[in-house]
Amino acid sequence: MARPAHRIAARQYLPESKLEDLVNSLRRLANHRGLVRKEITSPMLLRLLPGPRRGDPFAYESDLRRRLVEADLDLDRITYLLSHVEQEIGVAHARLAG
């Protein structure tokens, strides 16, 4: 039996894994040195973006997960947020690069 030429990872189908991707991306953006919060263009992203990490990293991530679960995000909103987070990380990198 031949294997399919193009395989997609199972995690792409699981909403929980997309939520974990969003948690990791938001954490990266929130703690990026090049981030300027007032220049973020997405109101939803700005509302859900946590402040920079202070103290216990486990408490920080669990609080972020709790906030995202309470926001009751569907897959389209998670995809939207992931896209905007990546754009903002690119802008933050460009700021630091000068």
Q: How far apart are CA 87 and CA 12, in angstroms?
A: 20
SS3 content of the chain, % helix, strand, coil (to 5): 65, 0, 35
Place of tokens 């009751």: 72
Specify whether the backbone of 74 is left (phi greater than 0), alpha (psi in -120 to 50) or beta: beta
pLDDT at site 8: 47
Is-above-0.85 flag for pTM? Answer: no
Tokens of 66: 């709790």
- Count of alpha carbons within 13 Å of 94, Cβ hemisphere only? 6
**Going residue by residue through the chain (98 aa), what tens digit of pLDDT does each one get?**
555 555 445 445 556 788 899 999 999 999 999 999 999 999 999 999 999 888 888 888 899 999 998 998 988 999 999 999 999 999 999 999 98
